[in-house]
A and B are shown apart, each in its own frame.
Chain A
Amino acid sequence: MIRFEQVGKRYPNGHVGLHELSFRVRRGEFLFVTGHSGAGKSTLLRLLLAMERPTSGKLLLAGQDLAQITNAQIPYLRRQIGVVFQNHQLLFDRSVFDNVALPLQILGLSKTEIGSRVGSALERVALSDKAELFPGDLSTGQQQRVGIARAIVHRPALLLADEPTGNLDPRLAAEIMGVFEDINKLGTSVLIASHDLALIARMRHRMLTLQRGRLIGDGEAV
């Protein structure tokens, strides 16, 4: 599903975000990307979201080369990716329902279809009774689950999460990880950037370790 072939990212100021990174991710796989701050985790996610372009190498997402993709094609690529942010990135002037419905409105689905899918996504993250509330009325953990519902509502093939448990206590973090595992069982590939090694170790999934933009480890977390 994802193929990094000698992918490098060098910024105009000379800073190197990634050094000739090479690895593959199979369809339906669950993996973590870990490393210290500045290791290149976020750069890797930004490349996969086509927020940045690689400066060298080949980055393939289901056969599409993200270095070659045009700006006009990017929205259609992103419609097949779900993304969860550490700070949720929710719209606080919209209800939980409207936040989750946003990707479906962009897809141009009917109101009935949107209602059905949003209901299903909220049920999956156990927030069915919060649909009419606003994000400001929810706890941090609930806000993160709204973010997850928004990321999965359009049934993406790939779910990316950038430090999704960064602001949560261990109990909530484990709960959120449980949600990701449920989603992964439905066939969605899940790639999570996190530096919470204890949590990663408990999950027993594949883990890529980055250090200063280089891949220094690839194997099951222990």
Chain B
Amino acid sequence: MSATRIPPPQPAQRVGAAPKKVDPKIPDEGPDFRTQFHAWVESHRASIVDSLRRLGRQPIGSFFTCLVMAVALSLPMGLSLLLNNVERLGGSWQRAAQISLFMQLDVKDAAGQALSKQIEGMPNVASAEWISREQALAEFQQQSGLGQALKELPDNPLPGVVLVTPQEVDKPTLEALRQRLSELPKVEQAQVDLLWVERLSAILKLGERFVFGLTLLLVMALLLVIGNTIRLHIENRRTEIEVIKLVGGTDSYVRRPFLYMGALYGFGAGLLAWLVLAYGLNWLNGAVVNLAGLYGSNFALDGVPVGDGFSLVIGAVLLGYIGAWLAVARHLRELAPR
């Protein structure tokens, strides 16, 4: 600690708005914008690297935290995907709510097709399809297993049918349309299975509400998981945070590495959840295809759409970020002067 090695005195900066003395050798002014921007970028880069390093230092712990989050994320997402598949299985709403117009027996093909075109032009009608008496009999023979018995009948007992697909499926509109169609000439009966539509609608609405409730609960659970994990990291770095605050670190400077850590946990969890869902649906699909095949259907489960997968990852990153923010904010509040 030789006095001769001590560099020339540097005038101390003053507190508050007092003017500063400038050392000609070392600039004492605040850093310019470019330097500050580079320092800001460098600070973010250092925070990301530091967060990755800390997560990598505890690979098993980090993996399990991500896995817990992934399970919590994949439950509502998986249920939502299954609901979508159930909806698809039940056919589109329009198909489910088709109105069948049973014509009188004397209606010929040409008249039926003309009527079908006329109905297509009506309001609230998406499409109309004419099924002739012969087509109806052939389908019935095939599906009922009574082919031989039906062949022995002297006449075809089935009427021609116009299948009308409505644009809207709410009950009053459907009922009004059915009423209008039933008043058309040569229409013997207009039939729509509204009860089935209502039941399916109610089941799907219940399912959607259940998924929504479950999502809310699990989002809260996720915030707790990430908040608790970040809280442990904060405890391990308590001294560092105190020192940073005492040497002039702002709250955002203290918060930054923890936010990156939360976001990284979220990113890992989102990717894992996507993987779990993709694998889970693929695993389930084998059994579904087999079951559907027994009913003569080629139905198969849809996987995780890429858009939904990305939304899942982005959502998880956001949740991680918010969870970390809440945890750090709580700690910073404790450090605030009283």
Residues of A within 8 A of B (CB): 1, 12, 27, 49-53, 61-64, 71-72, 74-81, 83, 89, 91, 102-103, 105-111, 113, 116-117, 120, 123-126, 150, 154-158, 175, 178-179, 182, 185-189
Contact = CB atoms under 8 A, between A and B. Distances in A.
Q: Main SS of chain B's interface residues?
A: loop
B63 interface: no
A76 B38 contact: no
A91 B251 CA distance: 19
A51 B337 contact: yes
A155 B338 contact: no
Given A50-B337, A108-B35, A117-B26, A81 B15 contact: yes
A64 B249 CA distance: 19
A74 B247 CA distance: 10
Number of contact residues on B: which range applies? Answer: 35 or more
A34 to B, nearest CB: 23
A178 B6 CA distance: 13
12 contacts: A53-B338, A79-B247, A102-B247, A105-B43, A106-B244, A107-B30, A109-B35, A124-B6, A156-B13, A175-B1, A182-B3, A182-B6
Given A110-B39, A126-B1, A182-B6, A80 B338 contact: no
A76 B245 CA distance: 10
Contacts of A113: 26-27, 31, 35
Contacts, number: 133
A77 to B, nearest CB: 7
A52 B338 contact: yes
A150 B26 CA distance: 18
A154 B10 CA distance: 11
B36 interface: yes
Contacts of B5: 123, 126
Nearest to A53: B337
A62 B14 CA distance: 8
Contacts of B144: none
Contact of A155 (B12, B31, B42, B244): B12
Interface stretch (B84-92, B172-180, B235-243): B235-243
A76 B38 CA distance: 20
B140 interface: no
Contacts of B299: none
B28 interface: yes
A185 B9 contact: yes
Interface string B226-257: 00000000000001101111111111010000
B39 A102 contact: no
Given A108-B40, A175-B1, A80 B337 contact: no
A93 to B, nearest CB: 8
Nearest to B243: A89
B125 to A, nearest CB: 64
Contacts of B10: 120, 155, 186
Contacts of A110: 31, 35, 38-39
B11 A187 contact: yes
A77 B249 CA distance: 11
A108 to B, nearest CB: 4
B12 A157 contact: yes
Nearest to A151: B247
Given A52-B337, A124-B6, A175-B1, A102 B15 contact: no
A75 B250 contact: yes
Nearest to A69: B337
A178 B248 contact: no
Contacts of A150: 247
A182 B6 CA distance: 9
Contacts of B251: 75
Contact of B239 (A77, A80, A89, A125): A89
Given A51-B337, A108-B36, A187-B11, 6 more contacts: A75-B249, A89-B243, A89-B246, A103-B248, A107-B31, A113-B26
Nearest to A83: B246
B43 A1 contact: no
Contact of B39 (A1, A61, A105, A155): A105
